[in-house]
Amino acid sequence: MFTIWEPIHKDRYYLYRNFIQEALGRRVSISLLREVYQRKRNEFYPNDYPSYTKRWMTINYHVLESLFPDLKEEKILEMARDLTSLILSPKPFRVKRDTRIFLKQAKERGLKVIIASNNSGGRLRALLENFSLNKLIDSAYASSDIGLEKPDVDFFKHILKKESLKPEDCVMIGDNLDHDVKAPKSMGITGVLYNPNREHKDYAGYTVSKLTDVWQLDPFKS
């Protein structure tokens, strides 16, 4: 189980900044965008929304409202819709480095490849189709379809049950230390931190900077 794409921009906040500049002709600093988004995500993200899209629509609306109190509600709503459509489309993303090689190698080794993503089902399927990855992946699970999200261990338990797998037979590879490594590890799944930027230097567990390096780790040597 692992994550396979990343933003085309340095991080998502560059995407937001460029969108705002194009829509309004105003510049907003990355640090301010990051601070406001993180605050609004903490405020609205845990709440029970009817859909993944609705949740991000709500977050984007309140971010824009906070940044631009002078704008009319109609303009904020229009921008929130456009921004939500943009960030939930495949357009701002690309497949991570050496992903295709890694997936082909996994298939050659006879391994089952499962995507486990905090995402909407529609968006996840669109990303897989857009990047022509369906033939290299056995299953894909989106949080919106399950009704649970990482790092909730029940998210992983749901997938294990559906796939008839035991935790000790699985490896989760991801770039979020808490969601993709520590959470699955707490229930017996081996976690591997995909760390191309060499962050989390204090983490002593399995870490790779390239996906194809995982074959050198102990879990894949047996």
| Predicted pLDDT of residue 108 | 94
What does the pLDDT read at residue 86?
85
Q: What is the pLDDT of residue 201?
A: 84
pLDDT value of residue 61:
95
pTM score: 0.73
Cα separation, 37 vs 83, in Å, equals 13
Residues 156/185, Cβ–Cβ less than 8 Å: no
Q: Which residues of the chain have pLDDT under 50?
A: none
Alpha carbon separation from 214 to 105, 144, 182, 198, 208 (Å, rounded): 11, 29, 17, 15, 7
Asked if 97 and 211 count as a contact pair (C-beta separation under 8 A), the reply is: yes
Instruction: Please state, in angstroms and rounded to a whole number, the distance separating the CA atoms of residues 113 and 92.
Output: 24
Q: Which CATH number fits domain 96-220: 1.10.540.10, 3.40.50.2000, 3.40.50.1000, 1.20.1260.10?
A: 3.40.50.1000
Q: Quote the pLDDT of residue 7.
A: 57
> Cβ atoms within 10 A of the Cβ of 56, count?
22
Q: What does the buried/exposed string (b/e) look like for 77-91 if buried means 16 or more CB atoms within 10 Å of the residue's CB?
A: bebbeebbeebbeee
